């Protein structure tokens, strides 16, 4: 677990590992890195599994930095071992494998395939 903590997040979401442990995604407010406002950063952190490091999305304005932070957090979760093993879930998901996070166009097919595998595995497990 990381020693650093993202302070003053603007949004958070709780996820669950095997219905027991909680993992939390925290998103910070985008901010300009330079006085000319030519680059913005938006920090995010996933705590509860993995290294828990504070990471960032980088954009040319605050909205792009926020969107990229969400996509990065989404990729970190959807491609984690915990998600691929079907252990990670969100209570508000439409399906058992839905974490309710945006997926970039370039990753959409991969995430759909992983979701299908998780749902098929859970379906087989419930029929046993």
Q: What is the pLDDT of residues 77-120, one digit of tens each?
A: 999 999 988 888 898 887 778 899 998 888 888 888 988 888 88
* pLDDT for residue 1: 45
Look up tokens 């879930």; give the residue: 89
- Please report, for the chain, the start and end positions of each structural domain, with discontinuous segments joined by +: 11-126
More confident residue, 124 or 18: 18
- Distance separating alpha carbons of residues 64 and 37, to the nearest angstrom: 13
Contacts (Cβ under 8 Å, ≥6 apart) of 98:
90, 115
- 3-state SS assignment for residue 88: strand
- Distance separating alpha carbons of residues 119 and 86, to the nearest angstrom: 8
Neighbours of 80 (CB within 10 A): 16
pLDDT, mean over the chain: 89
**Dihedral of alpha carbons 75, 76, 81, 82, sign:** negative
């Amino acid at each position: 677990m990381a020693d650093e903590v993202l302070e003053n997040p603007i949004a958070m979401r709780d996820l669950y590992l095997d219905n027991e442990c909680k993992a939390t995604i925290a998103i910070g407010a985008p901010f300009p890195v330079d006085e000319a406002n030519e680059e913005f950063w938006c920090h995010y952190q996933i705590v509860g599994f993995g290294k828990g490091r504070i990471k960032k999305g980088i954009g040319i304005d605050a909205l792009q930095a926020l969107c990229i932070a969400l996509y990065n957090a989404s990729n970190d979760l959807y491609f984690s071992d915990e998600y691929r093993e079907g252990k990670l879930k969100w209570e508000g998901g439409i399906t058992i494998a839905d974490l309710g996070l945006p997926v970039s166009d370039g990753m959409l097919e991969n995430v759909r395939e992983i979701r299908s595998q998780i749902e098929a595995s859970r379906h087989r497990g419930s029929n046993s």
